Each structure stands twice: as C-alpha cells, then as structure tokens.
Structure 1
Amino acid sequence: MATGTVFSALLSSDDPARLRDWYAAVFEASVEHVGDGDGYQVVDLDGFYLMIDSRDDVTGRAAEPARVILNVEVDDVPATAVRVDEQGLGWHARPEERGGNWFATAIDPDGNLVQIIRLSDAMEREAQEASMTPFSGFAVRDVDAAAAFYGDVLGLRVDRNDMGLLTLHLDRRTRVIVYPKPDHESAGFTVLNLPVPDIDAAVDDLARKGVELLRYDGMPCDDKGVMRGRSAGMGPDIAWFADPSGNVLSVLH
C-alpha cells in the first residue's frame, strides 16, 4: 500500500484575507504568498501549511462545520484562548483541562471549527514512542546550561525526562534528543539548522540575548554576521553560532 505524509490543508473562502489574518493572529503564525496573481495565502502552523484561497463556488459560512475539523496543537491553550477572544468570534467549546490535557474548539471567520489541543507531556511521549518517529540527537557537557540556552535563549520547548535527557521540540513533529556527556567535544560541523521566516529579526534577537555569531574563512558574512547566499544564488541566507557546549548551530532563511 502506498503511503504519504499529510503536510497541508486547503481552505477556500469568499474573504481569504480575513480568514488568513484570523489564523495568523490566533496562532501567531507567519504568512507567505505563493503563486502568481491571487495565488494562495499560506499560513505556517509549525510545519503544517494551511493554504487559503478564493473560489467562485464557495460563499458564506460553512454549511456543516462539524464535517471537517482542523486540529491545531499549541504549547499554551489559555494564552491561545486570549487571542481567540480578541478576535471576537466566540467558541463552539471553551477551553477545558481533562487529566492534564487541554481541549477547546474555536470558530473561525467562515464558521469552520478549529480544535485547539495541548496534550500532557506524558501522553505526548507515549504517542511518540508508539509511532516510533525518527529523531536525531547530540551531546552536551552541561544539561542544565543546555536546557536554559535552548529554552530561554532560542525559545524552544524543552522537556527533561527522569534520565536527564532533554527533548527539543522544533515543531509538532520534529524532536531532537540532547544527552549529557561530560567529556564532550564539539563537532567540526553544524549539528542543528533552525529555519526562520526572517533571518535579520532572528539575528537581532540573538544579539539582544548576548549570543555571538561565528564567522568562517571562505564564508563571506555581512556586518550583522549573515552570509547572504540567496542574492548570490548560493543557497539560503544563514548565520552560525554555538551553544554553551560549543555545538555549532545555525539560523537560516
């Protein structure tokens, strides 16, 4: 049997701009225009792409909103609920905590139902173990310093298990394991690339938090420390830096 990965959904609307703005505001998501002319407004929901367009045969509110419900996992349901309230469209079911799991169902501008979910750490680990999702990992000298850096400086969600291993949540599907190794020596290559929608904003944020960018011979960087590969047709714009254990990381557009 052929299998594939579901990575996007298409919503059609007679007011795609309003629909786009609602999803971008509620989920603090970036938006990109794809295609010629009207094209698609693509909302990046942490690696799942919600494509929004207009169609002549789609008008008004959803006739059967419960027929298809979009599930969106978030890190903080109460904070997301505040943004839903700010949009003023109401709820199908307000946020509720059940055994450590959070659930809510919001109503988007077209009347579609959007279920907002935050599973408990225990249930999320069980689901990941059951699915045998592939993951990568690397070592650090000091797990506490790594947890502070990846959580507080880079803003990633970081979990720690009973054995002292860290799990970095890059998005809802991608995990990286960080494990302690007291005699750790950093590799001579980049161990983790972090895509960002705006590399200048990302570099400015790193600088505000005291992170110094790395420069390499043969990799010409501008005054900010960014190698501008896109304008030269040499790949993405990229900037390198290191974690407290000397592991080389990058942000790239």
Structure 2
Amino acid sequence: MAAPGNINGLGIILGSTDPEPLIDWYRAALEPLGARWEGHMLVVGQQAIIGFDRRDDVAEKAAEPGRHLVNIMVRDIRAAEKHFNSLGVTWVRPVEDTGGGWFFSTLLDPDGNYLQVLQGPGTP
C-alpha cells in the first residue's frame, strides 16, 4: 500500500473513434471556465487532466454514459450554466440545488459521455 499523500494528480482519458470534435467541444466548454490546453491534454485543475485518445475498440457513442462520469468542480455554477447554455449543450440534469451547499448538474458531450459540473459548500 502506498504511503499517505503519495498520489499527486488525477487524469482521465476519453477514448473516441473521432477525438478531434470531442477535443474541440471540451476546449470550448472548459477553457472559458479556466481550463487550459497543454500539448495534447486539457488541464482542469492542479494536477488534474482530461486527455483524448483515438480508439478503434469503442463505439461512436457511449453505450452506458453513466458508467464513467467526468466531474468538474467550479466556483460559480450559475456562471458555468450560462456559458454551457450559450453552447447549446444537452442537459441530462439541469443545475440543481441538492442541499447542504451542493449544486449538481449533468450534460452530454458529443460522444454521449456524461460531464457533471458541481459546486460544493465553501468552494474557494
């Protein structure tokens, strides 16, 4: 077992039969919120990335979009909601106050994956 505090980052790779439109969508969706493109990945937080990979072993659309959820924490979910609406996203779960200072929402990316946008209590 690794020593406590040994993990220093987190990443997810989204496999796609056609990653270029997926990359374009994620950049348009997340760069205005503070993400930045570096090389071949989107940096979404301190030591947190979303990468993209061309795959021939996946379907064009996610068969079970709830199996893997990409979660993005934001400081101002209402500003993020306004931005996503300007892009014409498809909401699976519109922004909802779930109590205790938590706000959740879920939308679809072009490959049918779920992107959840959250704001928690005391979000800095």
Question: Do they fold alike, i.e. is TM over 0.5?
Answer: yes
User: Partner residue of 1:30?
Assistant: 36
Query: Of residues 5, 10, 14 in structure 2, which corresponds to 1:7?
Result: 10
In the TM superposition, residue 32 of structure 1 has moved relative to its aligned partner by 2.2
SS in structure 1 of the partner of residue 82 of structure 2: helix
User: Partner residue of 1:89?
Assistant: 89
User: Partner residue of 2:70?
Assistant: 70
SS in structure 1 of the partner of residue 58 of structure 2: coil
User: Partner residue of 1:46?
Assistant: 45
Equivalent residue letter for 2:83:
R
| 8 Å Cα contact 1:106-1:114 kept in structure 2 | yes
Higher relative contact order (CA 8 A, sep 6+): 2
Distance in structure 2 (CA, Å) of the matches to 1:18 and 1:83: 19
Bigger proportion of residues as strand = 2
| 8 Å Cα contact 1:31-1:43 kept in structure 2 | yes
The sequence identity of aligned pairs, in percent, is 35
Query: Of residues 19, 23, 31 in structure 2, which corresponds to 1:20?
Result: 23
Equivalent residue letter for 1:45:
V
What is the TM-score with the length of structure 1 in the denominator?
Answer: 0.43
- Aligned residue pairs total 116
In the TM superposition, residue 88 of structure 1 has moved relative to its aligned partner by 2.2
Alpha-carbon spacing, 1:10–1:75, altered in 2? closer, same or farther (3 Å): same
| 8 Å Cα contact 1:22-1:87 kept in structure 2 | no
For structure 1, the residue ranges without an aligned partner over 5 or more in a row are: 34-40, 125-156, 158-253
- Structure number with greater Rg is 1
SS in structure 2 of the partner of residue 27 of structure 1: helix
Equivalent residue letter for 2:44:
L
Structure 1 stretches of 4+ moved >3 Å: none
Distance in structure 1 (CA, Å) of the matches to 2:51 and 2:74: 19
> Could you report, residue by residue, the CA deviation over 1:143-180 in whole angstroms, capped at 9, with x for unpaired residues?
xxxxxxxxxxxxxx5xxxxxxxxxxxxxxxxxxxxxxx
Distance in structure 2 (CA, Å) of the matches to 1:101 and 1:113: 18
In the TM superposition, residue 50 of structure 1 has moved relative to its aligned partner by 0.6
User: Partner residue of 2:114?
Assistant: 113
Equivalent residue letter for 2:15:
S
What is the TM-score with the length of structure 2 in the denominator?
Answer: 0.82
For structure 2, the residue ranges without an aligned partner over 5 or more in a row are: none
Distance in structure 2 (CA, Å) of the matches to 1:98 and 1:66: 19
Question: Pairwise CA RMSD of aligned residues?
Answer: 1.8
